[in-house]
Amino acid sequence: MGQGVDRLSWVVAPRELPAVPAEGRLALVDVAFANKDNYELHTRPFIERAGARLVAWIDHHEHPAWTAFERDPRFVLAPRRRARACPELITPPVVARLGPFEHLLAHADFDGLMSAVKLLGGGQPPYPEADEDARAVDSPGRGFRLSARGQRLARAMDQASVERGAARLALYTALAGALLAGAEPPALTRDLDGLAAALEAEEPRLLALADQATRPHPDLLLLESARALHPVHRKLVMCELEARARVGVVSEPGWISVGTFRDEDADGLDLGQLRGLDCIAGYAWGRSPVAQVVAELTRMLRR
């Protein structure tokens, strides 16, 4: 198995899988099975078209369809409560079992990038703290420690998403190559440093938005924003709300997000009970009215 990133492609969302390559074996890391009807529309057809050329699907976003692949050794699937980030599932024995592949699809975020680099690196993390950094970024609020190196890279990737949109993927590929090589070209270092500094400067303003939140319930913080937030900014605000209350809610025009760091407590909340919202562990999102969501959360919190 070669070590270059020329085989690496990015998946922005589970419902946006690319066409199956015409030739060559392929692996996927940190790519969730698409939610609800999108599984039948996108995920299952992709798996069937890939057929025997699919050598691995490694992921930690739990999905009802996982049961169909429990006995298929190509699928390394573990729920978030067991694998807080995807890279920890990628070990030298797992990589050795896969054999060669010509295509690698990775989720376009910090966790996905570290997973891709670890797979291309034979199951070894690109730097000692990389697995813990992935856990800290992908599962915030659960006690994982983010290193200074990881924080710089995560900030740079997030700010590239804010500033560059789809063009950020070229930066992600360049960063993957640098991590595999163990050295950053000077131009990449300047780019990463500038991006990380830009988001660091913006963070105080974003986190201060939590001061505007109201408490419809003692354990619930609700921020109602008159404008849509970029997903990167929304995540920062959500994490701040969840750090201050048992449940955080961000309401934007036509969109609502609900999060809790305490979904696995003995009295943890199952956000999947919220009507009309999609949900993964500790996080729900969609277009339900804010009054409905707050009322349902209030009832759940009173139990």
Q: Are residues 137 and 222 in the same domain?
A: no
Model confidence, pTM? 0.94
| CATH number of the domain where residue 235 is located | 3.10.310.30
Query: Does the structure show a pLDDT above 50 at 2?
Result: no
- pLDDT tens column, 169-208: 999 999 999 999 999 999 999 999 999 999 999 999 999 9
Give the residue from 128, 145, 162 where a domain finishes.
145
Paired with 86 in beta bridges are none
User: Is residue 287 included in any domain, yes or no?
Assistant: yes
Q: Are residues 224 and 137 in the same domain?
A: no
Residues 6 or more apart whose CB falls under 8 angstroms from that of 74 comprise 54, 55, 56, 57
Average pLDDT over residues 63-70: 96
- 84 is in which domain, residue-wise? 5-145
- pLDDT tens column, 105-118: 999 999 999 999 99
User: Is residue 173 included in any domain, yes or no?
Assistant: no
Q: Are residues 136 and 218 in the same domain?
A: no
Work out how many domains the chain is built from and give that number: 2
Residues 6 or more apart whose CB falls under 8 angstroms from that of 207 comprise 236, 237, 240
Q: Are residues 129 and 236 in the same domain?
A: no
- pLDDT tens column, 245-297: 999 999 999 999 999 998 877 677 889 999 999 988 899 999 999 999 999 99
Contact 212, 227 (CB under 8 A): no
